[in-house]
Structure 1
């Protein structure tokens, strides 16, 4: 979690803010599997770090965004299970039940086959249909897909700041608030587009470390520590808080994080759309 002295959550920010997207570099993806010497799955990059310039329509200030996407690996995933322990219940409550195409097809075929088998048994026995069993089989299609290290994607963002965020003063605090507003507006757009396709997505509030839309768990998500584990950037301890050092921007950066279980291809399209279009929040 980055240094932040704002008491309100990013989700309460001005919903009417809009921004322009201007491309500065081209996105690329990779799907290589990474394992440690001990054979334990470690974080892997599925969308390489890419920079974009975002500008709010009602502001003359532009911010440089760096966005990348990663599979968390098993160690980080175990920590995230305590950040989002109510993931499944939230998905079912919100109707977020979509599966990747292959998994969805398999799940539906299995469900229909089980229903047909149950009905055949009923006909053969010349008995009343087992309605409870048939409904149970149909419910398989409505269950939320399990969150696993293989389908969870951590979207790591950085914004370049004019102020050195290792310094605590009015100028740096005001800029933190502005960067928080930019991330929150951008994150709301990305999450709404992903959820419209039936997949789960959420972001953590950089000020508190807790999920914005999913019920919070027993743990918070520290943006700085998470970014360091995903991208191997160096960190500095300032008082009781840790600051991450960007390889190009140094400590003039603001990290924040978004999470989703949507397919990588869909995420790439949504991200590109968020960069290129004019949107209302």
Structure 2
């Protein structure tokens, strides 16, 4: 499994609207953690094989994210996972709107979005539409998140992330 993980400061949209998708939070996220997994198939179309691949990649994202959240929680940093399937946070009450992962990733990483029917897909510069995005929000600064990502991916190297590309916090 190949993946890229990036830690960014939140967009103005996230800072100004966090209460609508993280209603239990008192302050806006300090960091947005983006996980991009390379898919075996283009994810822009529909079909049983594509849905199975999405389910597989979602579970890999959740496994990694739960481990990272536990590590950050041990350091007393509130962190939440945005469910890629629904757009709602997993640990907070459901907010008044879902989070648009593709739009935030587009703004932070300048990865183009392709809209088809009711779905959005990212057009990764190397992988095309064979990319599965995931997002976490945290009150931890990048300096606290970075070593934990390395620890969590290193412990799972071989069954989660082989081609890890980690990029530090970028404005």
Name the TM-score class by shorter chain.
0.7 to 0.9
Computed over aligned residues only, the root mean square deviation of the Cα atoms, in angstroms, reads 1.5
Contact residue 11 and residue 107 of structure 2 kept, 8 A: no
| Distance (whole Å) between structure 2 residues aligned to residue 260 and residue 170 of structure 1 | 34
Choose 1 or 2 for highest CA Rg. Answer: 1
Pairwise CA distance, 1:202: 0.7
Structure 2 CA distance for partners of 1:166 and 1:192, relative to 1, 3 Å: same
Relative to the length of structure 1, the TM-score reads: 0.54
Q: Does 1:234 align with 2:89?
A: no
Pairwise CA distance, 1:238: 1.0
CA offsets, 1:100-154, max 9 Å, x none? Answer: xxxxxxxxxxxxxxxxxxxxxxxxxxxxxxxxxxxxxxxxxxxxxxx24xx6100
CA offsets, 1:80-103, max 9 Å, x none? Answer: 231112113xxxxxxxxxxxxxxx
Match of 1:81? 19
CA offsets, 1:157-189, max 9 Å, x none? Answer: 110001111121121111111001100000000
Structure 2 CA distance for partners of 1:278 and 1:168, relative to 1, 3 Å: closer
Matches within 5 A, 1:43-82: 63-82=1-20
Stretches of structure 2 that go unaligned for 5 or more consecutive residues are: 158-171
| Distance (whole Å) between structure 1 residues aligned to residue 154 and residue 119 of structure 2 | 35
User: 4+ residue runs of structure 1 moved beyond 4 angstroms?
Assistant: none
Q: Does 1:270 align with 2:148?
A: yes
Match of 1:201? 79
The one of the two structures with greater contact order (alpha-carbon pairs below 8 A, sep at least 6) is: 2
| Distance (whole Å) between structure 2 residues aligned to residue 278 and residue 217 of structure 1 | 32
Structure 2 CA distance for partners of 1:85 and 1:160, relative to 1, 3 Å: same
| Selected match of 2:123 from 245, 265, 269 | 245
Q: Does 1:176 align with 2:54?
A: yes
| Distance (whole Å) between structure 1 residues aligned to residue 44 and residue 64 of structure 2 | 25
SS in 1 for 2:2: strand
SS in 2 for 1:87: coil
